[in-house]
Amino acid sequence: MDAACAHGGAAWVRIGPRGLRTLTAADASAYGPLVSETPQAPHDPSLEGALRRTLQPWTRRRVIVGAGLAGLTVLLGFRACAPRVSTEARPGLPSLTGTQLAIFERLFALMIPTRLGALVPVANVPVLANADAAVARLTPEVRLLLQRAMLAFDLGAIVTSGEGTRFINLGDDAAAAYLSQWQHGGEIRRAAYGGMRQVVMLSYYSDPAAWVPLSYDGPVTESRGIVRLGHAPLPEV
């Protein structure tokens, strides 16, 4: 159960003029394990750098969620907080909590246009395993920024979606409209949207299972035997 709903099924969440109060490890416990307690996989500098740049606004001590939330105090009751979508952790996916997995499941359905018939269905690509592995490769600092963004994104739907419930419990149309609010919103919202989208796109399009309709046969370093230089500097002319 989310930290905001831990006291008898109802709790006050204050969203003042300066935005959500500082998100502590205790606040975000349902949205991700304490980064210091999670073993770190080998570092991925490409995703790390992209997320660090995109989520930079979330490094502020107090995160401003948006003008639409300013000055509001919301009472979260059982109806809003009780998860209708399963938020149980899943075996084999140690880096993401059940809530984060539920968020990403909705995001994959909304962000990958497989409904048009030109792409491999998301269900046929191990996107959640890929997302879990991608998050495991992040440094604790960037992983916490993503965790903060996902927490605010999920709970923010209670206030601004018009449905009075979390993002993971919204219907398809309401979820798409709410996601669009963050895609086209202020700096903080766009940063959260962009960070989550980077993980989603990497998790789908980097998997060989998704390549066939794209006429892509993999990295040229493998298909043509080109030696990888990693992040070595380019030769000077």
Mean pLDDT, consecutive 10-residue stretches, the chain (237 aa), reads: 39 38 44 44 70 89 43 41 68 91 96 85 95 94 92 91 92 96 94 96 94 81 67 65
92: left (phi over 0), alpha (psi -120 to 50) or beta: left
pLDDT at site 231? 62
Global model pTM greater than 0.75: no
pLDDT at site 217? 78
Task: List, in sequence order, the alpha helices (H) in the chain.
Answer: 45-54, 78-81, 98-111, 127-136, 140-160, 172-183, 187-205, 220-223
pLDDT at site 172? 94
pLDDT at site 219? 73
pLDDT at site 218? 75
Torsion of CA 16, 18, 22, 27, to 10 degrees: 30
42: left (phi over 0), alpha (psi -120 to 50) or beta: beta
Closest CA to 176 of 234, 121, 106: 106
- Could you tell me the CA-to-CA distances from 143 to 116, 148, 186 in Å, in that order? 32, 9, 22
pLDDT at site 214? 85
Judge whether 207 and 130 are in contact, CB under 8 Å.
yes
